[in-house]
């Protein structure tokens, strides 16, 4: 996710609107995401990496939320909705 994206994800009964901007990630956060993805095993694809980016941002305010929570609740449609919203924005 090389650009800014606004993604909505519902975990439990709470919907979070997460603004992901990779440029704001610290080196430690990037390492945390890579380590968490590696711990899942297998190869990570683009959606896994994007979901990890959402988790990192969400985790800043909600440290109890795990990567698995995000992976279990984030859908491909959530990313498509974010892309569609970006295309419809006045800046697009």
Tens of pLDDT along the chain (92 residues) come to 456 889 999 999 999 999 999 899 999 999 999 999 999 998 999 999 999 999 999 999 999 999 999 999 999 888 888 878 776 666 55
Token digits of residue 6: 């606004």
Q: Where are the domains of the chain?
A: 5-88
Please state, in angstroms and as integers, the Cα–Cα distance from residue 65 to each residue in 11, 42, 59, 61, 87, following that order.
9, 22, 6, 9, 29
Is the separation of the CB atoms in 78 and 40 below 8 Å? no
3-class DSSP state for residue 19? strand
Residue 90 confidence (pLDDT): 62
Residue 91 confidence (pLDDT): 58
């Amino acid at each position: 996710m090389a650009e800014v994206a606004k993604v909505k994800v519902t975990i439990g009964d709470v919907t979070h609107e997460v603004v992901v901007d990779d440029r704001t990630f610290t080196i430690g956060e990037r390492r945390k995401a890579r380590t968490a993805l590696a711990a899942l095993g297998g190869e990570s694809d683009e959606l896994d990496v994007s979901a990890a980016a959402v988790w990192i941002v969400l985790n800043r305010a909600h440290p109890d939320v795990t990567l698995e929570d995000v992976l279990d609740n984030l859908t491909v449609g959530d990313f498509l909705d974010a892309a569609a919203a970006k295309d419809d924005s006045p800046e697009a």
